[in-house]
Each structure stands twice: as structure tokens, then as C-alpha cells.
Amino acid sequence: MRLEARFTFITLLSYVLVTASSGIVAGGLSGDYEQARWNTIHFKPAIDDAADEQCLGCHQEILGRRVLEQSPSGVRASKSLAWYQTLTTYAGEQETFHRRHLATPLAMQLMDMKCNTCHQGNDLREEAPNPPDHSNTDFTLRKTVNPEICLMCHGVNPYKIMGLPSPWPESRSAFQDNCLLCHAGIRTTRHQVNYLKADAIEEAGKQDSDVCYGCHGGRQWYRIPYPYPRHAWKGMKKEVPEWAKDRPTESEPRFLIKTKQAAK
């Protein structure tokens, strides 16, 4: 038997034995570290139904971490402004990445994100296909999170598609600094996904346009906008604009609200 084939066989056998013997107990995983990292909860389909309590049973330190009070160069966090603090919606001291998405007041008010909203598992043996297989979207080039998840709330402000004369920070005064001035009657079915609190977003957006802008350009990481699905809304025109012809008409199944998904 060739060495490469023997290695693959041994790896697969080890995986079967470990996943068969390991289990979830008291919110965490039994066994040693090697057993835990190969547990089926880290792979599909089990990870799709993993509860936060199961994830945090082993990864509680994610929410326990805090930013440094002072950087190595001597800059104090209390005396500086982080990029995510520049919008009026953020209040309080600087926080870590995971806490900003799960535990801060803004996150708890407007979002309903879970660990598996972003983390969909990964193959410890091969996180990038060899040879390359561009048709397999499950592989994300050794990243533990598919970057498209981040793009959903961290894309550029698509002001040209919306027909704005310039980016929102420059044109907001012309629209009374109110996103709902137009969107109260345009694309009225929005935020109907299980990682957002749609009603809370609508109410908060009436008070502060940064609630809307925050996820639609205000916290931009990328140079492109996210191609949001065009869920049908009341009064929607039958003609599909040129820029929207390739857009899906529904969110990914795993993001659908369960009550609506069950009704289909």
C-alpha cells in the first residue's frame, strides 16, 4: 500500500474511532483535547444544531477576554477611539470582536447571533481542497469562517444602486438623516433572518439612522457591497432591475426563521 494511501486510511480510521467514543457532557466535551477537536459537533450536520451552551462549554474564554487597557506602545484604550466606536449607536468602552457580536448592549438589542451563525465547522485534515475544486463552496481556504458571513454586515454602502447622489455620510442631510424617509415604502420586507431582531431594528432605525448605516456601510471592511436577497415586498414591481437580476429571492435556508420555514 502506498504511503499516501496508508496515511489517509489511518487518518480516517482515527476519526471514526474518536468521534464514536467522544461525547458531550456538562456543556463541554468528554475525553482529551484530541478527542474533543474531532468530535462530530465540529462538523456538518451536527454543527447546524449546536447550541451556544455546547460551544461555550469549551470556548467560554471567547466571551471572557477583554481588550488591553494599554497598547504595547503606551496608548490607553480609554483615551483612543476604535473604528467601531465612531457611530452614535455604540456606547461604552472598547470590546473584543466576539463580545461586540454576542454580548454588548447593541448586539443584544439588535442581533440574535449564535456561534454557528458564523462558525460552520471545518475539516481538520484538509481546509483547502487539493486539487482545487472551485465548485465546492464549503472550503474557505483555511479560514474558520466563510468571509461572506462578514460581508453581510461589513460591505461598502451601495449608494449608486440606491440612487443616492453620493455616499450616505455626504448625502444624509439631503434625506433629513433618515433612511426610512424612503425605505418606509421601499423594500419593506427586510431583516427577516434568524440572526437579527427585525422589529427592534425597525424601531431603533426610526430614532437613529446610524442603526441602518452601521450595517450598510458604516462598519465597512470590504470594497464591495453584499448582494442581499430580494425578498418580495408589498408593492414590489415585477420588473427586476439590471443590477438585481442575479440576486436570490430568499435567504439561505439556515438563516430562515424556523416558524416561516416550517410553514412552507
| Per-residue model confidence as pLDDT tens for the chain (264 residues) | 444 444 343 334 443 433 343 455 445 566 688 888 888 888 888 999 999 999 999 999 999 999 999 999 999 999 999 989 999 999 899 999 999 999 999 999 999 999 999 998 776 666 655 555 556 556 565 567 888 899 999 999 999 999 999 999 999 999 999 999 999 988 889 999 999 999 999 999 999 999 999 999 999 999 999 999 999 988 898 999 999 999 999 999 999 998 655 555
For residue 203, which of 212, 195, 216 has the smallest C-alpha distance?
A: 212
Per-residue confidence (pLDDT) for residue 32, from 0 to 100:
80
Task: Sort 248 into a burial class: Cβ within 10 Å, 0-12 / 13-18 / 19+.
Answer: exposed
Domain ranges within the chain, ordered by starting residue:
76-264
Per-residue confidence (pLDDT) for residue 2, from 0 to 100:
46
Cell 456601510 maps to which residue? 217
Looking at the chain, how many residues does it have? 264
What gap in Å lies between CA 5 and CA 10, rounded to an integer? 9
Task: Sort 249 into a burial class: Cβ within 10 Å, 0-12 / 13-18 / 19+.
Answer: exposed
What gap in Å lies between CA 148 and CA 195, rounded to an integer? 15
Which distant-in-sequence residues (6+ apart) come within 8 Å of 120 by Cβ?
Answer: 44, 47, 48, 138, 145, 146
Q: Which H or E run includes 28?
A: strand 28-29
Per-residue confidence (pLDDT) for residue 125, from 0 to 100:
65
Per-residue confidence (pLDDT) for residue 15, from 0 to 100:
39
pTM: 0.80
